[in-house]
Amino acid sequence: MEACVDILNEMGIPNEIKVISAHRNPKKLMEYVTGLKDNGTEVVIAGAGGAAALPGAIASWTTLPVIGVPIASSELKGVDSLYSIVQMPPGIPVACVAIGSWGARNAAYFALQILGLKYSDFKEKYENYRSSLNK
């Protein structure tokens, strides 16, 4: 997830890092997530390994866009996390990116795209980034 944070910082996207287990501390997670809108949060990026319930749990408690990043943390090398994140019931969507660092980077760029729909400076930063890929 370091790659994600690096890109968010590079692009000037305010962010906060929180570690809360969906399995071990669901009440604390719910309390945190239900306050996100009031804190001005507009997109949530959640990295999770193994059973990877975190992105889905977050999405169940907020209507903010949630991007799930599967983390390779078990013998299944992140495939278990990928399946956990993409198999959400209708009405509780979670966007899912690739496993590991590629996914972490794409989560940041996807958040930048989402924010670019509202903020022209983020739109311009993403468009400049995409143009740089063609050089």
Give me the DSSP letters along 101-135: HHHHHHHHHHHHHHHHTT-HHHHHHHHHHHHHTT-
The C-alpha atoms of residue 86 and residue 130 are separated, in whole angstroms, by 26
pLDDT tens-digit readout, 96-118: 999 999 999 999 999 999 999 99
pLDDT tens-digit readout, 14-64: 999 999 999 999 999 999 999 999 999 999 999 998 888 999 999 999 999
Report the candidate in 81, 128, 87 with the shortest Cα–Cα distance to residue 109: 128
* Number of neighbouring beta carbons within 10 Å of residue 35: 11
Q: Which domains does the chain have, with CATH numbers?
A: 2-130 (3.40.50.1970)
Sheet harboring 95-96: ordered strands across? 44-49, 66-71, 95-96
